[in-house]
Structure 1
Amino acid sequence: MFTIIGTMFTGIILGYVFRNLNILKKTEKTISYTIILLLFIMGVSVGSNDRIIENIGTFGWQAAIIAFSATCGSILAAWLVLTMFFQKGESHEG
């Protein structure tokens, strides 16, 4: 877990340092395709796992509940950030 978080923060730091390079500006277009490819590969991995396929009914409901909860939490957080920081013409200072 620390390796993944460390890799992410290293990427953030390098992206910030080299943000003015043209090649980094071009990578923004490929990010969506990379995420789609990763999701496809993950789907193939899940589909080839007999244990998961045999228990898809149980895992499916748990996954649906977790996905629904995560989506609701993300919408709530986005709404809070929007109302607290991005409303024009309003001051939120005490």
Structure 2
Amino acid sequence: MFIAIGLMFLGMLAGFLLRGRRLASVLSRCVTPAIVLLLFALGISVGGNSTLMGALPELGSAAMLLTLCGVGGSLVCVLCIRRFFRQPPEPDALKRCCASDGTEKSCTAHFSAPASSAGTGQDDPRA
């Protein structure tokens, strides 16, 4: 395990020293294909292990339970702390949103009937 962590830090040092050079950009494009190949090789080794394949239903159900508990716990935490992160609405937000020419008059005309036609039976010009 210490060898793997040491190699990781050695790679980080090499990346730090090589940053901005052509070799670093070439190597960065090789990372995703290398990870895909490693995952494929891991799948082959897991598929070939009969003990692990026999225990897969138990492992899968435990993994599903852990996943559901993790998601459920996250939702409960969000419901408990979300009130601390809400921001009050800005008082002029409505005016900025609906006024096309920047005036308050166009905004109030948008949401209320014009004073001259209110209650007179005239057709609403906005319709």
TM-score, structure 2 as length reference = 0.48
User: Identity percentage over the alignment?
Assistant: 30
Higher helix proportion (structure 1 or 2): 1
Partner of 1:5 in structure 2? 5
* Ranges in structure 1 where 5+ consecutive residues have no aligned partner: 74-94
Q: Compute the RMSD of aligned alpha carbons.
A: 2.3
**Counterpart-to-counterpart distance in 1, 2:10 and 2:25:** 18
1:35 to 2:35 alignment: yes
Q: CA deviation at 1:47?
A: 0.1
Q: How does 1:47-86 map to 2 (within 5 A)?
A: 47-65=47-65, 69=70
For the structure 1 residues 2 and 43, does the alpha-carbon distance in structure 2 shift closer, same or farther, using more than 3 Å as the test?
same
Whole-angstrom distance in 2 between the partners of 1:48 and 1:14:
36
Q: 1:19 to 1:2 in 2, by over 3 A?
A: same
Gaps of 5+ in 2: 75-127
> 1:20 Cα shift?
2.6
| Deviation by residue 1:4-55 (Cα, 9 ceiling, x = unmatched) | 1111011101110121320111122221111111000000000000000111
**Quick one: higher RCO (CA 8 Å, sep 6+), 1 or 2?**
1
